[in-house]
Amino acid sequence: MAEQADRLIVDLVAGARPNFMKLAPVHRALKLRPELETRIIHTGQHYDHGMTGVFFEELRIPEPAVHLGVGSGSHGAQTARILESYEAHLLSAPPSAIVVFGDVNSTIACALAAVKLGIPVVHVEAGLRSFDRTMPEEINRILTDSIAELLLVSEHSGLDNLRNEGIADSRVRLVGNVMIDTLVEELARVDDAVLARHGLEPGEYGLVTMHRPSNVDDPRTLRGMVEVLVEIGRSLPLVFPIHPRTRRALDASGLAGLLHAGDGVRCLDPIPYRENLALMRGAKVVLTDSGGMQEETTHLGVPCLTLRENTERPVTTTIGTSRLVGSDPEAILTAFRDVAEGRWPAGERVPLWDGHAAERVAREIAEWLARR
Ligand code: UD1
C-alpha cells in the first residue's frame, strides 16, 4: 500500500458540478483521521468557473492536488481522456485507495483506471438505479458499482438493487446522504437577502433547472418544456438558472426567444451553491431534472416536479416531496395546479439524511483500509 510518512494516501475524485457538494464533507471528515492523507483530484470534466471554481470557494474545498484538465467531449472521448490521464497520475503516485462520487463520466473513468492497477475503489452514492439504460449515468452507476470494493449507499433502495445484482452484502454499507451534510452545513450561511436581490418574495415564485439530454437535446421536447414554463410563468414567476448544455440547445433551436418573450420566466447563468439553496428554500415549487435537487427539496420539504420519467432516487417520491412528471406538458401543468391548490404531501425526513453521513463514510473507509 502507498504510504506517506506512515499515512495511507486516499485520492478523492471529482469532475462535474454535482460531485463537489458530495466531496466537500467527505474530505473534511477524512482529514480528521490522522492515519489518512487525502489528495483531491479534479478531472476537469466541468471547467467554467460557474460550474466548478465557485463551488470550491464556497464549500471551502482546498485546491486540487492534481487537475487533469480533460474538458468536454463525446462520452467516449471524455471518458477515455480521463482514464488515460488519471492512469498516468496513478502510475506516478499510487494511492492506497480512491473514492469516487455519484454517476458522472469522471466517476466510472477514474474507478476503471484505479481498479485495473489493483488500487481499490470506494463508491459514495452506490446502488442507485433508474433502470433506464438510455441514461448515461445509469451505465456509469452499474459499472462503477461492479468494480468498486466498498459501496456506500445513500438510501435503502440501493441495498436492494445491489443485492439483486449479486453484489455481496459484505461490500455494502448504508451510510446516508453526504450531499445533505453540505445542505445542513450551508443553510446556516445562506444570505437572507438573496430573494430580495432577485425581487422575489418567499413562496411566491418557482425555481426551474433542466439539463438532461432527454429533456434538452431534442428540439421538439425542448419546445414543449419551454412552452409549459412560459404558461406556468403567467401565474407564478419562475427563475431559471440555465446549464451550459441547455443554453446551447436553446440557442441552436431558436427557442431562447420564446423563453424570453414570456416575461414570467427569468433566465440566469448557472448560480453558486448557496444562492441556489436560498432560491430552493424559498420557492413555492421546484421544477427540475436534477437528481441532487430532488433530494434537496425532499429534505427542505419543498414540492418538486421532477421532469423525468423515472428516478434512481425513489425515496424522494415515496416519502419525499417529489413527483415524477416527465416531459409531458399536460402532466406538468396538472402537477403544478396540484401544488398551487395545496394538494401536495408535506413529505418526511429520510432516514440517515441527517447531516452526519460523511462521518459514517470516513469511519467505514478507515475501518475498511485498516482491515485490508
Ligand atoms: C454532466 C453529467 C450529469 C450531471 C451534470 C451536472 C455525465 C455523463 N453527465 O452532464 O450526470 O447531472 O454534469 O451538470 O457525466 N459545458 C460548458 N462548461 C462546463 C461544462 C460543460 O460549457 O464547465 C458544456 C459543454 O458544451 C459540454 C456540455 O456542457 O459539451 C455538456 O457537458 P458534460 O460534462 O459533457 O455533461 P453535462 O450535461 O454537464
pLDDT, tens digit (0-9, with 9 covering 90-100), for 90-145: 999 999 999 999 999 999 999 999 999 999 999 999 999 999 999 999 999 999 99
Quote the ligand 1 centre to 96 CA distance (angstroms): 29
Q: Is the dihedral of CA 330, 322, 185, 201 positive or negative?
A: positive
How far is the C-alpha of 151 from the C-alpha of 126, rounded, in Å?
5
Contact call for residues 29 and 358 (beta carbons, < 8 A): yes
Quote the ligand 1 centre to 78 CA distance (angstroms): 11
User: What is the pLDDT at residue 240?
Assistant: 98
Q: Which residue among 45, 135, 288 is best mutated to probe the pocket of ligand 1, counting the most ligand atoms within 8 A of its Cβ?
A: 45
Average pLDDT over residues 231-243: 97
| Predicted confidence (pLDDT) at residue 27 exceeds the cutoff of 60 | yes
Pocket of ligand 1 contains residue 49 by CB under 6 Å = no
How far is the C-alpha of 285 from the C-alpha of 342, rounded, in Å?
11
User: What is the pLDDT at residue 5?
Assistant: 57
What are the backbone dihedrals phi and psi of residue 153, each rounded to the nearest 5 degrees, phi first?
A: -105, 140
Please give the number of the atom of ligand 1 that sits closest to the Cα of 107. Answer: 15
Contact call for residues 276 and 296 (beta carbons, < 8 A): no
Q: What is the percentage of the chain residues whose pLDDT exceeds 90?
A: 97
Pocket of ligand 1 contains residue 105 by CB under 6 Å = yes
Quote the ligand 1 centre to 33 CA distance (angstroms): 33
For 318-367, the pLDDT digits (tens) are: 999 999 999 999 999 999 999 999 999 999 999 999 999 999 999 999 99
Q: In the block, which residue shows the cell 418557482? A: 206
> Is 211 in the active site?
yes
Q: What confidence category does residue 66 fall into, taking pLDDT thresholds of 50, 70 and 90?
A: very high
The closest of 305, 258, 262 to 283, measured between CA atoms, is 305
Average pLDDT over the chain reads 97
How far is the C-alpha of 7 from the C-alpha of 93, rounded, in Å?
14
Q: What confidence category does residue 6 fall into, taking pLDDT thresholds of 50, 70 and 90?
A: confident
Q: How far is CA 367 from the centre of its chain?
A: 26
Q: Which residue among 104, 110, 143, 311 is best mutated to probe the pocket of ligand 1, counting the most ligand atoms within 8 A of its Cβ?
A: 104
Pocket of ligand 1 contains residue 17 by CB under 6 Å = yes
| Predicted confidence (pLDDT) at residue 1 exceeds the cutoff of 70 | no
Q: At what angle do helices 273-282 and 291-300 cross, to 10 degrees?
A: 50
User: What is the pLDDT at residue 28?
Assistant: 98
Q: What is the percentage of the chain residues whose pLDDT exceeds 70?
A: 99
Query: Which runs of consecutive H residues, i.e. helices, occur in the chain?
Result: 17-31, 53-58, 75-92, 105-116, 136-147, 157-164, 178-187, 194-197, 213-216, 219-233, 244-253, 256-261, 273-282, 291-300, 315-318, 329-340, 357-371
How far is the C-alpha of 288 from the C-alpha of 223, rounded, in Å?
16
Quote the ligand 1 centre to 82 CA distance (angstroms): 14
Q: Based on the number of CB atoms within 10 Å of its own CB, is 238 exposed (0-12), middle (13-18) or buried (19 or more)? A: buried
Quote the ligand 1 centre to 245 CA distance (angstroms): 6
- Residue 211 carries which DSSP code? -
Please give the number of the atom of ligand 1 that sits closest to the Cα of 51. Answer: 23
Contact call for residues 318 and 350 (beta carbons, < 8 A): no
Average pLDDT over residues 16-43: 98
Q: What is the CA radius of gyration of the chain?
A: 20
Q: What confidence category does residue 261 fall into, taking pLDDT thresholds of 50, 70 and 90?
A: confident
Q: Which of 42, 89, 211, 243 is catalytic?
A: 211
Pocket of ligand 1 contains residue 224 by CB under 6 Å = no
| Predicted confidence (pLDDT) at residue 2 exceeds the cutoff of 90 | no
Pocket of ligand 1 contains residue 47 by CB under 6 Å = yes
For 146-187, the pLDDT digits (tens) are: 999 999 999 999 999 999 999 999 999 999 999 999 999 999
Q: Which amino acid is at 314?
A: P
